[in-house]
Amino acid sequence: MGFFNKLKEAALKEAKKKIMEELGLGGDDDETKPTMTTEEFEKTKPDELRKDIRMISGCQDRQTSADVSNVSSFQLPDPAGKAGGACTSTLLNILYADEHVPEDDLSFVEVLEEMRIKLKSGGYSQIPQLSSMNPIDVNTKFDLVPDTATGTRRAVMVGINYIGDDPGELSGCWNDVLNMKKYIIDVHGFEEENIVILMDDGIHTEPTKANIIDAYKTIIAQAEENDAIFLHYSGHGTKLRDDDGDESDGYDEALVPRDFQTSGMIRDDDLYELLFKNLPDGVHMTSLFDCCHSGTILDLPYLFKGDGSQTEMTLDPNMNLDAFIEKLTGKLMEFLQAKMAASLSL
């Protein structure tokens, strides 16, 4: 019986491998064509997920994000200190410069490509990205908060320096949060009472897994039509083996809370459940994730890279759109089980 069990296990393993290949869950980083066209995707996408959700990420999934030891080269009105994240510091440098010349508004393309130029000149290899739930005309004016967001503006900002961790301690994440907080108050009219800050500085709420999740749940519960939500995360990011079959590269991206060693990570699947599933219609959400492997931390289908390779936003060629749709409609397991059954019947 042991011999036949081994044969059965080997056959099942091979079947699963074929299914993963068919679903595009192989694990290499080479770009492929999207599994469906934009028209097909928009026709299939549930109406309740046609929401204004955008994310700026500090780098692609396979890249790491830099921690800057001295942000003076970025010429920021820095209230916090010298260190900071390369992505946050670069973006703020560009946005502050743009505010000083209001008649010369920058487009999404110009902001992302200028970020890449500045990062490259500073010796950083990371490529900033813009992703979204719906396609954005990236040649229009860049807006961290859309003009249509006429309601309350709320923010959750997380900065984790991992004090005492060796290796792993960072130096710039608190400064990122304080610098970005100053910007959204001064430029976009956010009020202090509507900004929740989590930092491991012994002063603010500790950025534990439970506290971050609670802050995200609360900001979604408070949101109403025409409100704006801004989420900022500066800390470690990581990749974990995909546990439900919805990732093209076989890995989930994840945030690393302060108590990750005891409480675990916050996966991209968790963020979908926390942030998107219950987001009210008409709420505008913009996120900035300055961490490693942040390219698809929110698993948004549309993508624009700030490396000069694109002129418009397109569907992410590395995203398994079929599995994404099934995930959004709550039918992912049915989808995978059907694929498994079909493969085994061959």
Out of 45-54, 100-109, 153-162, 270-279, least confident range: 100-109
Conformational region of residue 135, where left means phi above 0, alpha means psi within -120 to 50, and beta covers everything else: beta
Would 173 be classed as within a structural domain?
A: yes
Would 277 be classed as within a structural domain?
A: yes
Catalytic annotation, residues: 236, 292
Out of 67-76, 124-133, 247-256, 283-292, least confident range: 67-76
Would 19 be classed as within a structural domain?
A: no
- Predicted confidence band of residue 298 (pLDDT cuts 50, 70, 90): confident
Would 11 be classed as within a structural domain?
A: no
CA-to-CA distance for 49 and 139, rounded, in angstroms?
Answer: 24
Report the pLDDT value the prediction gives residue 217, as an integer from 0 to 100. Answer: 98
Which one, of 280, 257, 283, 255, lies nearest residue 269 by Cα? 255
Which residues neighbour 197 within 8 Å (Cβ) at sequence distance 6 or greater?
Answer: 157, 158, 159, 177, 181, 204, 205
Which one, of 107, 42, 98, 96, lies nearest residue 74 by Cα? 96
Cα-based distances in Å from 62 to 28, 65, 148, 315: 10, 10, 34, 18
Mean pLDDT in the chain? 80
Which one, of 29, 6, 25, 7, lies nearest residue 16 by Cα? 25
Average pLDDT over residues 105-109: 93
CATH of the domain at 271: 3.40.50.1460
Would 21 be classed as within a structural domain?
A: no
Adjacency order of strands within the sheet including 266-267: 237-241, 251-255, 266-267
Q: Is the pLDDT of residue 68 over 60?
A: no
Average pLDDT over residues 42-50: 80
Would 8 be classed as within a structural domain?
A: no
Would 120 be classed as within a structural domain?
A: yes
Report the pLDDT value the prediction gives residue 329, as an integer from 0 to 100. Answer: 67
Would 202 be classed as within a structural domain?
A: yes
Number of folded domains that form the chain? 1
Give percent of the chain with pLDDT exceeding 90: 47
Half-sphere exposure of 135 (CA within 13 A, CB side): 14
In terms of residues, how long is the chain? 346
Other beta carbons less than 10 A from residue 308's beta carbon: 12
Report the pLDDT value the prediction gives residue 271, as an integer from 0 to 100. Answer: 92
What tens digit of pLDDT does each residue of 322-339 get? 777 776 666 555 555 665
Domain range enclosing 311: 27-344
CA-to-CA distance for 222 and 208, rounded, in angstroms?
Answer: 21
Q: Is the pTM of this model over 0.85?
A: no
Alpha-carbon torsion (289, 294, 300, 306), positive or negative: positive
What tens digit of pLDDT does each residue of 13-43 get? 455 444 444 444 444 444 556 668 899 889 8
Average pLDDT over residues 296-320: 89
Report the pLDDT value the prediction gives residue 158, as an integer from 0 to 100. Answer: 98
Does the bond joining 167 to the residue before it have cis omega, within 30 degrees of 0?
Answer: yes
Q: Is the pLDDT of residue 216 over 80?
A: yes
Which one, of 241, 233, 201, 192, lies nearest residue 215 by Cα? 233
CA-to-CA distance for 3 and 6, rounded, in angstroms?
Answer: 5
